[in-house]
Amino acid sequence: MTLKKLNDIIKEVNKENAPPKGWPSDKEWNEEEAKKADAAASLGLEASDFSDDGADLDELKDIIEG
């Protein structure tokens, strides 16, 4: 069994939950934004390539999924 310091575990969790590089500091990073970014990345794009409300990303996903 590997023992880790609580401080190391907190750093790992924060790193996993951190916004991607280049994310605007004035824009909130939450689960919804993470889903949008993940969906855009799956298409080889960035969330910033789409509107803030994500409507065009949803439309593109509908087109791709048929």
pLDDT tens track for 33-48: 777 778 778 878 877 7
The pLDDT value recorded for residue 24 is 73
Calculate the dihedral angle through the C-alpha atoms of 25, 31, 36, 37, rounding to the nearest 10 degrees: 50
Among 13-17, 33-37, 44-48, 56-60, where is mean pLDDT lowest?
13-17
Structure tokens at 54: 């994500």
Cα(40)–Cα(10) distance, integer angstroms: 28
Report which residue type is found at 30.
Answer: N
Cα(51)–Cα(46) distance, integer angstroms: 11
pTM score > 0.95 for this model?
no
